Amino acid sequence: MFRLKLACVKDIIKMGKRKDCPKKLLTKINNVKKNELKLKEYITNTKKFKKENEHIIKKYNSLRNNRWKIHRNIRKKEFELLSYVKLNPIYLKK
């Protein structure tokens, strides 16, 4: 049997190349390999999509950045308002 101390996934995959590797371990290694292939395919598809729709993505990013700027400006103005009220207290007459 296996008397080696397995430290990482790469070591386990190396064990799968041996003839005396258990069947269950081989199936799990194959599942990992299938998912890695799916990941590579996903990455290539997203890169391709980004290249084809670059102008749309740029427009979306600019709109998103503008939204953040607006929120940031609102927070700044609220802070200015609070600081003004703290420095110059307002007294209301009843």
Mean pLDDT of 28-47: 94
Domain ranges across the chain: 8-52, 54-89
Q: Residues near 25 by Cβ (< 8 Å), separated by ≥ 6?
A: 12, 15, 16
The letter for the amino acid at 66 is N
Query: Which tokens sit at 66?
Result: 């503008």
Distances (CA, A) of 15 to 10, 11, 20, 29, 34: 9, 6, 9, 10, 17
For residue 9, give every residue at least 6 positions away whose Cβ sits within 8 Å of its Cβ, in sequence order, or none.
32
**pLDDT of 54-67, one tens digit each?**
999 999 999 999 99
Q: Is the dihedral of CA 57, 62, 65, 67 positive or negative?
A: negative
pLDDT band at residue 5 under the 50/70/90 scheme: low
Single pTM value for the model:
0.59
The average pLDDT across 36-61 equals 96
